[in-house]
Amino acid sequence: MSERDNHSDVEDAAYGDAPEQFAGEYPIRIRGLTNAFGDFKVHEDLDLDVKRGEILGVVGGSGTGKSVLMRSIIGLQIPREGSIEVFGRNITEAEPDEEIGVRNRWGVLFQGGALFSTLSVGENVQVPLKQFYPELDQELLDEIARYKVVLTGLPEQAASKFPSELSGGMKKRAGLARALALDPELLFLDEPTAGLDPIGGAKFDELTRELTDTLGLTVFLITHDLDTLYAICDRVAVLADKKVIAVGTIPELLENEHPWIQEYFNGPRARAATATHERGKALDKQGSEKA
Amino acid sequence: MREWAQYSVEEAGGRATVIVTGPLLVSSIGKLDPELRDYNESVQAIDITDAHPIDTVGAWIIHRFAERTGADIIGASEQAEALIDAVEGASSDAEIAPPRPHSIGDISENVGIKVIDFFGGVKSAIGFLGAVLMGAGGLILHPRRFRMKALVRQMELVGVSSLPIIGLMSFLIGIVIAQQGAVQLQQFGAETLTVNLVGRITLRELGVLMTAIMVAGRSGSAFAAQLGTMKLTEEIDAMRTIGVSPMEALIIPRILASVLMMPLLGFYASVVAIIGGAVIGEVMLGIPFWTFLARVQEVVPIYDFWVGMVKAPMFGLIIAMAGCYQGMQVKGNAEEVGLRTTAAVVQAIFMVIVLDAFFAVFFTEIGWA
């Protein structure tokens, strides 16, 4: 590509050329990823594909680099080696400006919510909208902020509250509202249900599933929550030994011999989660039969 | 080029239908939104058969239009229907931001709030001083709880690591005073008095004062920012619950370090400034370097040294107190850390200068002129 072409590309992206919806099969493709801090290698030669329209759960013990993987994909962590393609564009080689073409197509929910503390929740939701679509009316921005806040399960008055006035769970929901502000195609959730009460957690799961189905999202979901895995994830990727050692549906993973996977899915908590899940399914069945 | 969503109106048999075409996405409805908002004709239906793809923002605009005009939505795909249902259930009319007052009537209110805050601030600052004294008293009674390591670490940060910058600053100040003073004194043929000027003013005033300003900028701000951030991340609460007193672990070492290091830094600054003056004496006035230094000993009374050394620990106390007090007042958000840090530095420098003026008059009155 000549330098001139490159320039006009960047300009289009900066002015928010209506992004084509991604039509390929894999919005995220990672090949040979190596991440290291000093001598300590977090990932080595890691491969992972995320299918369009799926919720991919990412699990792994503490310190296996789940968050680092997410930060690599969204361009916050420069990998030492390997390539990461998001929507068919190589993130690792992209100039910062060029990434803008991708940034308005994903939403990220950080672990602590990472809300801007000097802005109210509603204003937080408006930040990405103002950044990418300056042509929108203030009135429309306000309306969007209002319905996004309610859509993520917050009470409507929460829109005018500051992050420091919210509880942990509400911060997560507000963070999700901001992540969804641009109606992204790709959503990154970093431990969305951690620290939520079981009811709140289950509602958050339901919400994620519902949004995924109505908006056609692809979700990259880091979690420790077995209930979340069973309830909403289409596939699960397991991180261990600096790699993704297995990707598949839960039944497929249960067949896997790897000791960590066995321990993870057959531990006491996993059995409890399975039981809950199956009870839920049985109840659903009963319900539908009665109806 | 970007493809915008558009609309057209079709009338048939007295029924007006608004037909929306193009992608109904957040990226493409910037033009359609105000047009539909201003649409005031009678309309019976809105057709979105040819409007896709659609996202929640598009769905919201269609829903809002349909609700305002009473039009029926026709031709919605399954996805569009689901989205419209979703945003319909989520509509609200809550405020986005808390009201931010800015009318003229508020000025008097704001002034009142400032005044009350000022007195509240004075009260809590005195309270903080009391808490520090209580903490210090507790440490005197239980010296084993004293944190030597923290103190040494703070002394290093406040004192040792600021030597280069304070040295450079003082050297330049010495040069400026000697050079400017010499120019003025030459008019009276009294350029040898440059020695008196440099020696007395640096030991008495400038050495300590400039050091205090530098320490306020370097360390006072650091105290406020550190403690403020620790407050935000609940580290201070965590310390309290573990039974570690933040006063003993954080505040007293910082205050003590400043009080101890300020006299040393102030004296060091004075000496370096005199050296700077001596260099100018050698270069401009033809006074040999060593003669200049020897003359300083003769013309500067010893009480000038004591004036500086009495003030220095006071200044250190004020700077550290302002920094720690403001840091501990942080609550809420990151902006507050910045505001409090600024306040710490401004208050510290202001109070140092006020106190310095007081000392100047005081020492002259008691005969240390």
| pLDDT tens profile B66-85 | 888 888 888 888 888 888 88
What is the rounded average pLDDT of the residues A4-31? 59
DSSP calls for B158-225: HTGGGHHHHHHHHHHHHHHHHHHHHHHHHTTT-GGGHHHHHHHHIIIIIHHHHHHHHHIIIIIHHHHH
Whole-number pLDDT of residue A17:
47
First to last CA, chain B: 80
Q: Chain B residues with CB inside 8 Å of A135's CB?
A: 30-31
Residues of B (57-116) whose Cβ lies below 8 Å from A: 57, 60-61, 64, 79, 82-83, 86-87, 89-98
Contact A160 B34 (CB under 8 A): no
Whole-number pLDDT of residue B197:
93
Other beta carbons within 10 Å of A198: 11
Q: Chain B residues with CB inside 8 Å of A213's CB?
A: 82
DSSP calls for B118-175: HHHHHHHHHHHHHHHHHHHHHHHH-GGG--HHHHHHHHHHHTGGGHHHHHHHHHHHHH
Whole-number pLDDT of residue B101:
63
Spatial contact of B96 and A159, defined as CB atoms under 8 Å apart: yes
Contact B33 A137 (CB under 8 A): yes
* Highest mean pLDDT of the ranges A135-139, A152-156, A237-241, B362-366: B362-366
Whole-number pLDDT of residue A18:
47
Query: B99 to each of A82, A116, A120, A161, B106, how far by Cα in Å?
Result: 50, 18, 11, 11, 13
A282 vs B244, residue with greater confidence: B244
Q: Give residue A286's pLDDT band: very low, low, confident or very high (50, 70, 90).
A: low
| pLDDT tens profile A162-183 | 888 888 888 888 998 898 888 8
Chain A interface disruption, residue of B57, B88, B234, B337, most A CBs within 10 A: B57
Whole-number pLDDT of residue A11:
39
Other beta carbons within 10 Å of B248: 19
Q: Chain B residues with CB inside 8 Å of A117's CB?
A: 332-335
In percent, the amount of chain A with pLDDT more than 90 equals 1
| pLDDT tens profile B153-175 | 999 999 999 999 999 999 999 99
- For residue A51, is pLDDT > 70? yes
Whole-number pLDDT of residue A84:
86
Q: Which residues pair with B54 in a beta bridge?
A: B24
For chain B, say whether A139 makes contact (Cβ under 8 Å): yes
- Tokens representing A146? 């209002």
Whole-number pLDDT of residue A164:
84
Q: Chain B residues with CB inside 8 Å of A144's CB?
A: 26, 57, 60
Q: Give residue A266's pLDDT band: very low, low, confident or very high (50, 70, 90).
A: confident
Q: Give residue B215's pLDDT band: very low, low, confident or very high (50, 70, 90).
A: very high
Whole-number pLDDT of residue B137:
92
Closest-CA residue to B323 (of B167, B154, B171, B189):
B154
- For residue A290, is pLDDT > 60? no
Q: Give residue B326's pLDDT band: very low, low, confident or very high (50, 70, 90).
A: very high
In percent, the amount of chain B with pLDDT more than 70 equals 99
Chain B interface disruption, residue of A8, A103, A130, A135, most B CBs within 10 A: A135
